[in-house]
A and B are shown apart, each in its own frame.
Chain A
Amino acid sequence: NAGVTQTPKFRVLKTGQSMTLLCAQDMNHEYMYWYRQDPGMGLRLIHYSVGEGTTAKGEVPDGYNVSRLKKQNFLLGLESAAPSQTSVYFCASSYPQLVGYTFGSGTRLTVV
C-alpha cells in the first residue's frame, strides 16, 4: 500500500502563476484534508472533504480551491500564487471515526 501520495514534492512558482497539487490515497478513506505547515504555526487546515463531490472550508481557505471528483483524489489549486503561500503543504486522509489521519510526505512550495 502506498498510503497517501502527494505530487509534486517540490515546486517553485512565480507570483501570479497557478498550479494544482494532487493528493491520492489508496485506503478507501472517506475524509480528506489539506493543511499548510509554517514555522511556529503548526498545521493549519485549508480545505477538507467528507466524501466524493463534497468540500468545505477550513481555517485558512483564501487563495485556494479544491475538488474531490473521485473518492481517492483530492486536488488543491492555487489560482494566482502569492509569496504568502510559500509553505509546506500536507494532504491527509482518515475514516469518519476519529482514529487518526494518514499524512502524505508533503509538497514544498516556494512562490517568488
Chain B
Amino acid sequence: QQQVKQSPQSLIVQKGGIPIINCAYENTAFDYFPWYQQFPGKGPALLIAIRPDVSEKKEGRFTISFNKSAKQFSLHIMDSQPGDSATYFCAASMHNQGGKLIFGQGTELSVKP
C-alpha cells in the first residue's frame, strides 16, 4: 500500500514533443505528490508538486495532472528540449509521517534534437 508505481521506465521523444510520465498509488492517505528531476551525477531537485485538492498544476512547461478517483497522477513536459533529458521521479507523502517521501522507480527521458 506504500508503493508508488511509475511508467514508463524510459522514454525517447523528439524536440518539441510532449513526453508524459505516469504514476499510480494505492494509499489514499497520501496528500502531497512531488516530481523530482535528476541529472547524471547530481542529486534530485524538486520540479513541481501538487496536493489532491486540485486536478492540475502548471509551472512553466511542466504540468501535473491529478486524478484522485483513479489514484493516478502524471507529468507532462510541453515543448520538450534536449536540456530536459534527465531522470524523473514521482513521489508521494503523508503529512503525519515525518515528511517521508515514497518514490517511484524513475523514468529516464531522452529528448532528441
A interface, CB within 8 angstroms of B = 4, 31, 33, 35, 40-45, 48, 50, 56, 58-59, 90, 92, 94, 96, 98-106
**B105 interface contact, C-beta 8 A:** yes
Known contacts A43-B103, A50-B99, A98-B93; can you find 10 more A-B pairs with CB under 8 A? A31-B98, A42-B6, A43-B89, A43-B101, A48-B100, A94-B99, A99-B49, A101-B46, A103-B36, A106-B43
> Which residues of the other chain, B, contact A43 by a CB distance below 8 angstroms?
44, 89, 101, 103
- What residue of chain B has the Cβ atom nearest to residue A90's Cβ? B43
The count of chain B contact residues (Cβ–Cβ below 8 Å) is 26
Q: Decide if A105 touches B42 in the complex (CB within 8 Å).
A: yes
Which one of A35, A44, A58, A103 lies within 8 Å of B45 (CB-CB)?
Answer: A103
7 smallest CB-CB distances across A and B, nearest first, come from A103-B43, A100-B46, A98-B32, A42-B103, A43-B103, A42-B105, A31-B99
26 A-B pairs within 8 Å (CB atoms) are namely A4-B43, A31-B98, A31-B99, A35-B103, A40-B9, A40-B105, A41-B105, A42-B6, A42-B89, A42-B106, A43-B89, A45-B100, A45-B102, A48-B98, A59-B102, A98-B31, A98-B32, A100-B34, A101-B44, A102-B46, A103-B36, A103-B45, A104-B43, A105-B42, A106-B41, A106-B43
Q: How far is the CA of A92 from the CA of B91 in the complex (A)?
A: 14
Asked if A100 and B49 make an inter-chain contact with CB atoms under 8 angstroms apart, the answer reads: yes
What residue in chain A is nearest B34 (Cβ atoms)? A100
Across-interface contacts of B2 in A (CB, < 8 A): 59
B95–A98 CB distance below 8 A: yes
List residues of B (4-23) whose CB comes within 8 Å of A's CBs.
Answer: 6, 9
> Measured between alpha carbons, how far is A40 from B5 in the docked complex, in Å?
11
Q: Is the CB of B103 within 8 A of A44?
A: yes
Binary per-residue interface labels of chain B (68-89) against chain A in the complex, 1 for a CB within 8 Å, 0 otherwise: 0000000000000000000001
> Would A103 and B44 count as touching, CB distance under 8 A?
yes
Contact partners of A35 in chain B: CB under 8 A: 103
Residues of chain A lying within 8 A (CB to CB) of residue B105: 40-42
